[in-house]
C-alpha cells in the first residue's frame, strides 16, 4: 500500500481522492493546496505517489511537477485533470508525469492509473 500526497486547491477533490484512496487501502500522508506547497512538502514526506492537479493558483501542477522531478528523479506523479485540458496533460507526461486521471474521479479510474505506475508482480 502506498503513502500518497494530494495536491489540489479544491477541498472537494481532495476529499473525494482521500475517500477513494483510503478505501483502496492507501495512506494519505499529507495534502498541499498549491504547486509551491507541494514542492516543499514532497521534500519532507517523500511520498510513494503524488496526485497533482494541473490548474492551481500560485503555482500550477505542471511547474511543480517539473521542479519536483528535477530534484527527485524517481518521483511518481499522477495528474488529476479535466477533459478539455488534454494539451496540458501531454505536456505533463513529457515532463515526467507517470499517468493521469480525468474528472469526475472514480475508484475504477484511480485503480487503473495506479496499477500502471505500480504494476503488481
Partner 1 sequence: MEKDINHILESIKNESKNFLENNISLQTYEIKTFCNKLNHHTSIITLEDDTFLCRVIISIEKELFEAIFSEFIAGEIEESQRDELAIDLSNEIINIIVGLSTRNFPKKFSHLILSTPLYLTKKEVRKIIEKKQFQSFEIITSLGSFNSYIIMDKNG
Least Å distance between CB 88 and partner 1? 8
**Cα–Cα distance between 13 and 62 in angstroms, integer?**
18
**What is the rounded distance in angstroms from the CA atom of residue 14 to the CA atom of residue 8?**
6
Residue 82 within binding range of partner 1, rule CB under 8 A: yes
Rounded CA separation 74/82 (Å): 26
CA angle 86, 6, 53 (to 5 degrees): 20
Omega within 30 of 0 (cis) for the link into 104: yes
Strand ranges for 1-121 from DSSP E: 3-7, 27-32, 49-53, 77-81, 99-102
Query: Taking CB under 8 A as the rule, which mask of x and - marks residues 11-50 in contact with partner 1?
Result: xxx-xx--x-------------------------------
Q: Which stretch binds partner 1 (CB under 8 A): 35-43, 63-71, 72-80, 102-110?
A: 102-110
57 binds partner 1 (CB under 8 A): yes
Select from 2, 3, 10, 59 the one that contacts partner 1 (CB under 8 A): 10
CB of 85 to partner 1, least distance (A): 6
Map grid coordinates 483502496 to a residue. 24
User: Among 3, 55, 63, 95, which residue interacts with partner 1 (rule: CB under 8 A)?
Assistant: 55
Contact flag: residue 85 with partner 1 (CB under 8 A): yes
Does 63 engage in binding with partner 1 (CB under 8 A)? no
Amino acid at each position: 500500500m502506498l503513502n500518497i500526497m494530494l495536491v489540489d486547491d479544491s477541498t472537494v477533490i481532495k476529499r473525494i481522492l482521500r475517500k477513494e484512496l483510503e478505501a483502496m487501502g492507501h495512506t494519505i500522508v499529507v495534502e498541499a493546496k498549491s504547486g509551491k506547497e507541494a514542492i516543499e512538502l514532497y521534500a519532507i514526506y517523500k511520498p510513494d505517489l503524488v496526485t497533482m492537479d494541473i490548474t492551481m493558483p500560485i503555482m500550477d501542477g505542471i511547474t511543480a511537477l517539473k521542479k519536483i522531478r528535477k530534484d527527485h528523479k524517481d518521483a511518481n506523479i499522477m495528474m488529476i485533470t479535466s477533459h478539455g485540458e488534454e494539451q496540458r496533460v501531454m505536456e505533463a507526461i513529457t515532463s515526467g508525469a507517470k499517468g493521469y486521471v480525468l474528472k469526475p474521479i472514480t475508484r475504477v479510474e484511480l485503480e487503473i492509473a495506479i496499477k500502471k505506475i505500480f504494476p503488481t508482480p
